Amino acid sequence: MANPQRPLSPHLQVYRWQITMVMSIANRATGIVLTAGAFALVWWLLAAAGLAPYEPLAAVSGSILGLVVLFGFTACLVYHLLNGIRHLVWDGGFFMDIPGVYATGWLVWGLTVVCTLGLWVAIWMTGALA
């Protein structure tokens, strides 16, 4: 007879969170966000071509909430790109040991923050957000 106190299979409460687990989950989540963002990009392209109303899009994207969403989309795009480069490096056979996997994981997170903030500072300095 099975012990009712024991879980039937390993689950999240059994495992300690590790950067490899977080990176995998974040990669899937950012992929979903980028898919949704692709639809917004199509809406923007249609509006720029004059095939859809532009004023509602400009009002939403220029609001505080719209800028927060755009910042989040940018962070997802940068993270997904850098993590994809990380996987290409792995395909070359580099950094496949545990210290290398952890180091590249932290590097991707750090570069995501730096690159996202750098992009937004550059955009801010051009006056495009004013």
Annotated binding site for heme: 80
Please give the distance of CA 123 from its chain centroid, rounded to a whole number. Answer: 19
CA distance 57 to 128: 16
Please count the other Cβ atoms lying within 10 Å of the Cβ belonging to residue 22: 12
| Six-digit token string for 96 | 């496949």
* Binding site, annotated residues: 80
Length of the chain: 130
Give residue for tokens 């609001």: 63
